[in-house]
Amino acid sequence: MEIRDRLYIGGAWVVPVRTDLIEVLDSTTEEIIGSVPRGTAEDASRAVEAARGAFDDWARTAPSERAQYASRIAEALGSRMTEVSQLIAREVGTPVNVSMVIQVGLPIMTFGSMADLVGQITWEQSVGNSLVVREPVGVVGAITPWNYPLHQIAAKVAPALAAGCTVVLKPSGVAPLNAFVLAEVVHEIGLPPGVFNLVSGSGSDVGEAVASHREVDMVSFTGSTRTGRRVAELAAATAKRVTLELGGKSATVILPDADFDRAVTAGVAMCLLNSGQTCSALTRMLVPRDRLSEVEAIAARTAESYTPGNPFLDTTRIGPLVSAAQRDRVRAYILKGIEEGAKLVTGGVDAPEGLEKGFFVRPTVFSEVRRDMTIAQEEIFGPVLSILPYDTEDEAIEIANDSIYGLAGAVWAADERSAVEVARRIRTGQVDINGGGFNPLAPFGGFKQSGHGRELGKFGLEEYLETKSLQL
């Protein structure tokens, strides 16, 4: 049992204003595995004041020195990799072998990449009679989700620190324990007091206090589109900079000449990753109408090979969802798909056999889905794939773009040039071509109601910089 009863503010573990705690559950056993403070707006204000007090000195620290601190964080996290991957497997339900690579490996890579990335920034340049300089935005409020908790924290905290910003982090209340490990690491490596601060709590208390605080210069939020709109609304009162990484309803477009075995298998995998709890999950699959039955067979076979179970077992390929509320929400969407007339190919609302305890949902595939159906339009955030048939390439592109979201996508074709041409017409922030792998140094972010701003790599670092002109 991990009982955390202190917040990390100003370089010290401090007693919160209230003694209330948020309980954290094991998503497989439904047992309590720990608790964290239910912070308040007053706690958030103390953290902002600490960050403001530390900002001037940190901003004047050389970029290379700031990046060295990020490298030390990466090294220290690496020494605790097994511990943290197991912790997140319990909090979120990610199979531990996947958790090791994605939930912990990616954050380590993100912190470790800062040393190289600060060297790619043009910190000063002459433009006519002006000296143009890049400076840190200021105090950053980072509000992060539960699905990839440490990865999303790193995607904000690492570039903010490297840019010279100070940070107040509000992690998800559903999976917050890993954030406290990061705070221990930050303390251990000797990051100057106030540069990084951690306040756990609810979005309505801590999150809103951070987003609206007049001493916060920028808010970076990842989460639902509904909550993102609220964050932007609060931030607008003080005209602070806002970056938002929100929902998605991303499509895999399989063109007629593609290798269907590869494309469908990969598409199902990218839908089911992390039990479908991925904002960029490829949850729609667009296929030629005359190949629909073939696609259904491949998709069913693939989905059924994802053995659900305890994330610590080698035989498990898909773990539980993060909470009872999330499980019930996903099951309600599956019922909605059935009610609206979609063809249930495999899966359904019943718990997987032998897994009545834990927040499990069977990998589910629907076919003959119409573009106006709820399961084709709304983000489900669970292991549910919708297969939609199309008749022409133009129609496929039209369906792919028929969404309020625009975060990710994929195109499969025998001719890579054709795939790229289609990808250019899909209005999303990133598109995989014929199974192209995730690049943690490429910009990540969305179009439309998937948000604005970019994370990761040089582009993510630049989000935390202001541009100033000195006329000489």
CATH number at residue 261: 3.40.309.10
Looking at this protein, which amino acid is placed at residue 22? I
Looking at this protein, which amino acid is placed at residue 140? V
DSSP 94-134: --HHHIIIIIIIHHHHHHHTHHHHHTTS--EEEETTEEEEE
Q: Is the pTM of this model over 0.85?
A: yes
Cβ neighbours of residue 290 under 8 Å, at least 6 residues apart?
Answer: none
Tell me: do 197 and 223 sit in the same domain.
yes
Asked if residue 387 belongs to a domain, the reply is yes
* Active-site choice (49, 165, 271, 279): 279
Tell me: do 147 and 198 sit in the same domain.
yes
Tell me: do 234 and 353 sit in the same domain.
no
The region, left, alpha or beta by phi > 0 then psi within -120 to 50, assigned to residue 195 is alpha
Tell me: do 382 and 273 sit in the same domain.
yes
Q: Which two tokens stand for residue 363?
A: 């990998």
* Active-site choice (91, 245, 462, 463): 245
Q: Which two tokens stand for residue 56?
A: 């001037």
Task: Name the 3-class secondary structure at 466.
Answer: strand
Tell me: do 104 and 232 sit in the same domain.
yes
Beta bridge partners of residue 284, listed in sequence order? 251, 386
Tell me: do 189 and 310 sit in the same domain.
no
DSSP 276: G
State yes or no: is 165 an active-site residue: no
**Closest listed residue to residue 446, CA positions, set 379, 398, 391:** 379
b/e code 422-448 from CB counts within 10 Å (16+ = b): bbebbbbbbbbbbeeeeebeebbbbbb
Asked if residue 312 belongs to a domain, the reply is yes
Asked if residue 444 belongs to a domain, the reply is no
Neighbours of 290 (CB within 10 A): 10
Q: Is the dihedral of CA 233, 236, 237, 238 positive or negative?
A: positive
Tell me: do 164 and 263 sit in the same domain.
no
Domain count, the chain: 2
Q: How many CA atoms lie within 13 A of 138 on its CB side?
A: 14
Tell me: do 311 and 406 sit in the same domain.
yes
Q: Cα–Cα distance between 220 and 455 in angstroms, integer?
A: 10
* Strand bridging mode 166-170 / 139-143: parallel
Q: Which two tokens stand for residue 120?
A: 């790619």
Q: Cα–Cα distance between 71 and 189 in angstroms, integer?
A: 10
Asked if residue 445 belongs to a domain, the reply is no
Tell me: do 386 and 458 sit in the same domain.
no
Beta bridge partners of residue 286, listed in sequence order? 253, 388
Q: Is the dihedral of CA 205, 208, 212, 218 positive or negative?
A: positive
Task: Name the 3-class secondary structure at 193.
Answer: coil
Asked if residue 306 belongs to a domain, the reply is yes
Beta bridge partners of residue 3, listed in sequence order? 35
Q: pLDDT digit of tens for each residue in the chain (472 aa)?
A: 899 999 999 999 999 999 999 999 999 999 999 999 999 999 999 999 999 999 999 999 999 999 999 999 999 999 999 999 999 999 999 999 999 999 999 999 999 999 999 999 999 999 999 999 999 999 999 999 999 999 999 999 999 999 999 999 999 999 999 999 999 999 999 999 999 999 999 999 999 999 999 999 999 999 999 999 999 999 999 999 999 999 999 999 999 999 999 999 999 999 999 999 999 999 999 999 999 999 999 999 999 999 999 999 999 999 999 999 999 999 999 999 999 999 999 999 999 999 989 999 999 999 999 999 999 999 999 999 999 999 999 999 999 999 999 999 999 999 999 999 999 999 999 999 999 999 999 999 999 999 999 999 999 999 999 999 999 9
Asked if 365 and 387 touch (Cβ cutoff 8 Å), the reply is yes
Tell me: do 310 and 405 sit in the same domain.
yes
* Strand bridging mode 32-37 / 2-3: parallel
Based on C-alpha coordinates, what's the Rg of the chain?
22
Expressed as residue numbers, the domain containing 19 is 2-246+450-471
Asked if residue 130 belongs to a domain, the reply is yes
Asked if residue 27 belongs to a domain, the reply is yes
Q: Cα–Cα distance between 266 and 270 in angstroms, integer?
A: 6
Enumerate the H helices of 281-415 as residue ranges: 292-304, 324-339, 374-377, 393-400
State yes or no: is 340 an active-site residue: no
Asked if residue 152 belongs to a domain, the reply is yes
Asked if 7 and 168 touch (Cβ cutoff 8 Å), the reply is no
Phi and psi angles of residue 462, each rounded to the nearest 5 degrees, phi first: -65, -20
Tell me: do 9 and 37 sit in the same domain.
yes
Tell me: do 147 and 210 sit in the same domain.
yes
